[in-house]
Amino acid sequence: MAPSGSELSRSYFEHVVRPAVEARWPRLAYAAARLGSGSDVLGLDDAMSRDHDWGLRLDLLVPAGLVDDVDAHLTESLPESFAGHPTRFATTWDPAVRHRVQVGTARDLAVSRLGLDPTTVLTVADWLSLTGQAVLEVTAGEVFVDRAGELSGIRRRLGWYPDDVWRHVVAVDWARIAQELPFVGRTGQRGDDLGSRVVAARLAGIAMHLGHLLERRWPPYAKWLGTSFTRLPRAGAAAEALQAAVTADGWREREDGLVAALRMLHRTQGAAGLPTVEDPVEPFWDRPYRGVREAAVRVVEESIADPAVRALPRGVGSLEQRSDNVDVLMSRGPVGRGRARP
């Protein structure tokens, strides 16, 4: 069985990169890890993952004054291949054939992924500008060594939202679901089956996002969201109901699946120590549809103590709750992560 990307990176570090670096700088305070982009960072790579940008990649995080020297030393000293894989290759973002040991500082790596500096005190707006995928690119990958401790410190700071910000984004997901849950039935009853399916699928996506929030897990972007959701210890139990919702042939069955999933997630919410109501779902006026109970949103909002968080608008939330556009979420430019402020 072929090794995973993370296993290959660790072996490359231990047998090639580490000896090369420590022979030249034996007391160097540095860290090595497999971070950044790539399914292997999340431990989700498979045979198909190897068709591009997969291979002998890792991050070597050193003091700022040594970045260029370490990179030059590796350029000169690394072998042509290791374990049957080339050490120098092009990537989709860089056509140059060069080694892919990314040498930099821990701070600069974090800023490059997040769009902000996590070594400073983060404001409420900073936290809401983060996306789960961006944070995972710093916190999810395997750390092989951390002599300096800076990388470990950054990962600890990014472990999860401050408590009141967490409560806010949970309330926002309930508010987002409340905005459209009755539309599953309304569109279906009007004969718009396609519209009903689209709304149900969108709500299932929000429910999966909510499940990650309730378990204090940063959600990945769409490609891995479902895989990650099914692995959640408690919230993942709602996967079967969500599957039923998005595959049902009739709007009533779609609504049933969504309602069942929401009730399971609401129980997960209680288990997480957040406030709940008796039932998060209720009839939608006198129509034959169901909606989210207003109290299910309000009870979480009212548990927020920080006035700055309480003043945030309902149903808007974090950057990834505002938009699912990948270019918006993952761009390092002005509209990307850490740049577009709530």
Q: Provide the pLDDT for residue 146.
A: 98
Question: What pLDDT, on a 0 to 100 scale, did the predictor assign at position 326?
Answer: 80
Query: For the chain, what's the residue count?
Result: 342
Determine contact, residues 271/234, Cβ cutoff 8 Å.
Answer: yes
Do 185 and 251 meet the contact criterion of CB atoms below 8 Å apart? yes
DSSP 3-state percent helix, strand, coil across the chain (nearest 5):
55, 10, 35
Count of the separate structural domains present in the chain? 2
Same domain? For 151 and 207 the reply is: no
Same domain? For 28 and 86 the reply is yes
Residue whose entry in the numeric block shows the structure tokens 């998060």: 280
**Of 250 and 323, the one with more pLDDT:** 250
Q: What is the mean pLDDT of residues 1-27?
A: 93
- Please tell me whether residue 96 adopts helix, strand or coil conformation: strand
* % of the chain surpassing 90 pLDDT: 85
149 shares a domain with 15: yes
Residues 206 and 146 placed together within one structural domain of the fold: no
In a domain, 335, yes or no: no
Q: What pLDDT does residue 331 have?
A: 63
Question: Within a domain: residue 182?
Answer: yes
pLDDT at residue number 162: 98
Q: What is the pLDDT of residues 231-260, one digit of tens each?
A: 999 999 999 999 999 999 999 999 999 999
The reported pLDDT for the residue numbered 332 is 53
The domain boundary, picked from 113, 134, 157, lies at 157
CA distances from 312 to 177, 233, 295, 304, 340 (A): 18, 30, 18, 11, 16
Helices then strands, each counted (H, E), the chain: 16, 9
Q: Please report the sign of the dihedral spanned by the C-alpha atoms of residue 204, residue 138, residue 108, residue 5.
A: negative
DSSP letters, 97-154, are: EEEEEEEE-HHHHHHHHHSS-TTSPPPHHHHHH--HHHHHHHHTSPEEEESS-HHHHH
Phi, psi of 251 (to 5 degrees): -65, -30
Q: What are the residues whose beta carbons fall under 8 Å from the beta carbon of 310, sequence distance 6 or more?
A: 301, 304
The pLDDT of residue 180 is above 60: yes
pLDDT at 154 over 50: yes
How far is it, in rounded angstroms, from Cα 20 to Cα 222? 39
Q: Is residue 268 in a domain?
A: yes
The pLDDT tens digits of the residues spanning 210-227 come to 999 999 999 999 999 999
Is 126 in the same domain as 188? Answer: no
Integer Cα distance of 139 and 152 in angstroms: 9
DSSP string, 182-224: HHHHHHHHTT-HHHHHHHHHHHHHHHHHHHHHHTT-PPP-HHH
d(CA 294, CA 179): 11
Same domain, residue pair 218 and 125: no
Nearest CA-CA partner of 171 in 271, 309, 340, 278: 309
Range of the domain at 276: 163-311
Can you give the pLDDT at residue 305? 98
Query: What pLDDT band is residue 336 in, cutting at 50, 70 and 90?
Result: very low
Q: Which residue has the tokens 């590796």?
A: 74
Do 55 and 171 fall into the same domain? no
Does residue 206 form part of some domain?
A: yes
Same domain, 9 and 106: yes
Q: Write down the pLDDT at residue 42.
A: 87
Q: Which amino acid is at 221?
A: Y
> Among residues 157, 189, 219, which one ends one of the domains?
157
Distance CA 2, CA 78 (A): 23
CA angle 225, 228, 229 (to 5 degrees): 80
227, two tokens = 């895989």
C-alpha radius of gyration, the chain, whole number: 23
Asked, for residue 341, whether it belongs to a domain, the answer is no
So what's the pLDDT on residue 275? 98
pTM of the model: 0.92
In a domain, 151, yes or no: yes
Question: Is residue 178 one of the residues assigned to a domain?
Answer: yes
Q: Same domain for 77 and 53?
A: yes
Q: What is the mean pLDDT of the chain?
A: 93
